[in-house]
Amino acid sequence: MKRNWIRTIIKGLSFTSVMFVFQACYGTPQDYGLDILVEGQVKSKTSGLPLKGIKVSESHNLQHEITDENGKFSFYTEFRDSLSFQFQNVDSVQNSQYADKDTLLTGIADSRLFLAIMMEEK
Amino acid sequence: MISSLKRYAFRKFKTAEAEIHELNYLFWECTTRCNLNCIHCGSDCSKDSVYRDMPADDFFRAIDTIKDIPQNFTVVFTGGEPLLRNDLEFCGKELRKRGFKWSMVTNGHLYDEQRHISLLNAGIGALTISLDGLKESHNWLRNNTKSFEKVVNAIELAASSNRINFDVVTCVNQKNLKELGQIRDLLISKNVKAWRLFTIIPIGRAAQNPDLLLTDHQFLELMNFITDHRKNKEIDMKFSCEGYVGKYEPLVRDSYFFCRAGINIGSVLIDGSISACPNIDRSFSQGNIYTDNFYEVWQNRFQPFRNREWTKIGQCENCKEYKDCQGNGLHNWHGNKQNVLVCHHKKIEKTATILNKTK
């Protein structure tokens, strides 16, 4: 605690706020961005069984993930207080009967999100 | 008066930082395999590395010794070329599970859309890509005719993400010095927000090639280029923290020179050695993850990094700038460590004196 006080005082005295924003000469910038871990599971509304091969994407960027054999997915994405996800059948044989689904979430405050998605048949 | 006060406060700050030595930034030399054969490489990496990639579990065992994880602690994947590892995303996710952030330095050759997405999904937060010139000069340095095309594609992808804190680095040399203005324009056109420039020090393959090294006059030209263009805010341009640059100190970067190697920056090298920045002479290693407790080594060793008095030797011995410079960047100390390899300050002063005499 005492050490942090020393740092704060000296930081103030040196008239600069960038002293802790450093990078090694051959390294990367530091990561001060916020992101959110989005996890979830996609199931069939009819059978209740998990759906494999569903493409889960976030509208504002290129990111997507495909659900595994347990219908589960997990990825980090940029934090925003509202996020929009699409669930699409990209395996035209196995899941062809399921309609694509959109989900909009607002008022997000946590850095972790769990989505339980039920996909309906067309 | 204000400038002197700032410098004084900064010296005190550096002393306090060395005493606290909080580990904020950890390089992981996860591979020494590389898909390029760059003519300036300081690490002597190659396609057929003598080392196998470090198993992820070995690295995790080492970092799991860290107690009291510092705020904003970041693991930086470096190499070799980290993208040659197929388990990079797994490693990234494991780090995030532990509450660590992670980032990567890459030559961009394998950075395509699919990899961009999978790295973002795994929680990457920062990225550095090397661009060393316009097409001809970049491909010359990278020793590969396709490299420019690939790296520009990588830069476009990285710049398209709001999530990644991303910058481009350029090794300034004889072939690209006159192109810097055009490189800057290219980066701005690709929506790049930050650009870091550094010079090549004569180690590794670079020592054999004079085209890679700037003359003192060219180095001064570089300082003036950065100083002039930093006034324009279109891109955050800066000189890297590779060395102390005297009167250019407040002008070419956001803060005064501070080599944080071993103070806030550590590394786990390919053979398990525990050190600071990977470009520092390997004889500075302080231990090995296969025989020592990583965090105990970080906490209790590293004296040559935290007390730099030993660098007061050779041309540094009687230098008036020593109190601000403290022996320059530690990667400038090699071999028997009796003299600093490069003195950026001396380059500047020598050239300025010659220019003054010719006026």
CA pseudo-torsion sign B240, B88, B141, B232:
negative
pLDDT, residue B2, reads 81
Tell me what pLDDT residue A60 has. Answer: 82
CB pairs under 8 A between A and B: 151
CA distance B134 to B183: 6
Residue that is written with structure tokens 């891109």 in the block: B235
Has residue B44 got a pLDDT over 60? no
pLDDT tens string B326-358: 999 999 999 899 999 999 999 999 998 888 877
pLDDT at B42: 63
**How buried is A93 (Cβ within 10 angstroms: 0-12 exposed, 13-18 middle, 19+ buried)?**
exposed
Q: B12 in contact with A at a CB cutoff of 8 Å?
A: yes
Residues 6 or more apart in contact with residue B193 via CB below 8 angstroms: B159, B166, B167, B235, B236
Q: Is B189 exposed, middle or buried (0-12, 13-18, 19+ CB in 10 A)?
A: exposed
Looking up tokens 């003036």, which residue turns up? B224
CB B168 within 8 A of CB B187: yes
Q: Pick the residue of B26, B116, B121 with the most A CBs within 10 A to test the interface with A by mutation.
A: B121
Classified as helix, coil or strand, B25 is strand
pLDDT digits (tens, 9 = 90+) for B107-161: 999 999 999 999 999 999 999 999 999 999 999 999 999 999 999 999 999 999 9
pLDDT tens digit sequence for B55-104: 999 999 999 999 988 878 999 999 999 999 999 999 999 999 999 999 99
Mean pLDDT score of chain A, rounded to an integer?
86
Q: Which of A38, A90, A22 is nearest to B260 (CA)?
A: A22
Amino acid at B110: L
Cα-trace Rg, chain A = 21
Where does chain B show beta strands of DSSP type E? 25-29, 74-78, 101-106, 126-130, 165-172, 194-199, 236-239, 265-268, 273-275, 287-288
- Which residue in this structure is represented by tokens 């005190």? B12
For B206, the token pair is 């670079």
DSSP conformation class of B343: -
- Put simply, whether B260 touches A (Cβ < 8 Å) is yes
CA dihedral A23, B277, B161, A108 (to 10 degrees): -70
Residues from chain B contacting residue A75 (CB–CB below 8 Å): 120-122
Rg of chain B over Cα atoms, rounded to whole angstroms, equals: 20
Confidence (pLDDT) at B57: 98
pLDDT of amino acid A20: 60
Q: Which of residues 215-254 of B touch A (CB under 8 A)?
A: 240-242, 254
pLDDT (0 to 100) of residue B227: 96
Instruction: Return the pLDDT at B208.
Output: 81
Report which of B150, B114, B147, B143 is spatially closest to residue B39, judged by C-alpha positions: B143
Among B292, B287, B342, which Cα is nearest to B314's?
Answer: B342
pTM for the complete prediction?
0.94
> Residue B265's pLDDT band (boundaries 50, 70, 90)?
very high
Q: What pLDDT, on a 0 to 100 scale, did the predictor assign at position B202? A: 84
Mean per-residue pLDDT of chain B? 94
Q: How far apart are CA B54 and CA B41, in angstroms?
A: 21
Q: Give the C-alpha separation, B185 to B189, whole Å.
A: 6
Q: Residue B126 is nearest to which of A28, A37, A63, comparing CB atoms?
A: A28
Nearest residue in chain B measured CA to CA from A65: B121
* Mean predicted confidence (pLDDT) in B30-34: 95
Q: Which tokens belong to A35?
A: 């992101």
Q: Decide: B304 and B310 in contact? Cβ < 8 Å.
A: yes
Residue B45 has pLDDT above 90, yes or no: no
A96 band by pLDDT with thresholds 50, 70 and 90: confident
A19: left (phi over 0), alpha (psi -120 to 50) or beta: alpha
* B184 pLDDT higher than 90: yes
d(CA A95, CA B50): 47
With beta carbons under 8 A apart, name residues in chain A contacting B123: 35, 37, 76
- Residue A3: what pLDDT? 60
If you ran DSSP here, which 8-state letter would residue B341 be given? S
Among A32, A64, A76, whose Cβ lies nearest the Cβ of B165? A32
In this prediction the ipTM stands at 0.90
Query: Where are the extended beta strands (E) located within B107-224?
Result: 126-130, 165-172, 194-199
- Only one residue has tokens 């003192």, namely B216
| Whether residue B219 has pLDDT greater than 70 | yes
Instruction: List chain B residues with CB under 8 Å of A26.
Output: 78, 105, 169, 198, 240, 277-279
Q: Give the model confidence (pLDDT) of A18-30 as tens digits.
A: 556 677 878 999 8
User: Residue B332 belongs to what H/E stretch?
Assistant: none
Place of tokens 């001809």: B136
Q: How far is it, in rounded angstroms, from Cα B285 to Cα B330? A: 12
Which chain A residues are closer than 8 Å to B27 by Cβ? 24, 27
**Amino acid at site B20:** I
Which of helix, strand or coil describes residue A36? strand
